[in-house]
Amino acid sequence: MLTISRETDYAARVILHLALQPTGSRSTARQIAELRIIPRALVRRIVTRLATAGLITTARGGDGGITLARPPTEITLLEVVEALEGPVALNICTVEPNICPLMPACTVHEAWVDIRDTLRANLARITFAALAQKGGASSPDTTAR
């Protein structure tokens, strides 16, 4: 199945959660895990990767926690995906053309590149500000039940 990993899906939930919090406030990994229904230890790992990608800022210690590093208007789905998955390649030949023995002559290559490019563009078009606006709720249970 051509799909992102579950970890990437979780990462999107994490960023969305943060985007829904009041600006500047911190959330803890524990809170996010419970509210967004993600295994706690996985949130830790995801937070690490999002932090090294520069999407979030973390603070250790007693009153520590996690915050978006930028306003949600400037964080896109593409960034989250690539932070977790690495490049959106679609086919490896778009990233490492040398790996393909047919390469300079391959006519499929162009197609992979084109489709990959518009896929990336579409992922980049979605900001977490837009996603946050859609669902008014600040946590999944606020409206339900």
- For residues 97 and 133, which CB has a smaller minimum distance to DNA in the complex? 97
Question: What is the C-alpha to C-alpha distance for residues 69 and 132, in angstroms, rounded to an integer?
Answer: 16
Window 111-140: residues binding its own copies (CB under 8 A)? 111, 114-115, 118-119, 122-123, 126, 131-132, 134-135, 137, 140
Amino acid at 65: G
Amino acid at 35: L
Binding mask 29-68 for its own copies (x = CB under 8 A): -------xx-------------------------------
Residue 137 touches which of DNA, its own copies, none (Cβ within 5-8 Å per kind): its own copies
98 binds its own copies (CB under 8 A): no
- For residues 32 and 75, which CB has a smaller minimum distance to DNA in the complex? 32
The DSSP bridge partners found for residue 68 are: 56
Instruction: Kindly state the smallest distance separating residue 130's Cβ from DNA, in Å.
Output: 25
CA 96 to the chain's CA centroid: 23
Beta-carbon neighbour count of residue 81 at 10 Å? 22
Cβ atoms of 120 and 82 within 8 Å: the answer is no
86 binds its own copies (CB under 8 A): yes
Helix (H) or strand (E) holding 67: strand 65-68
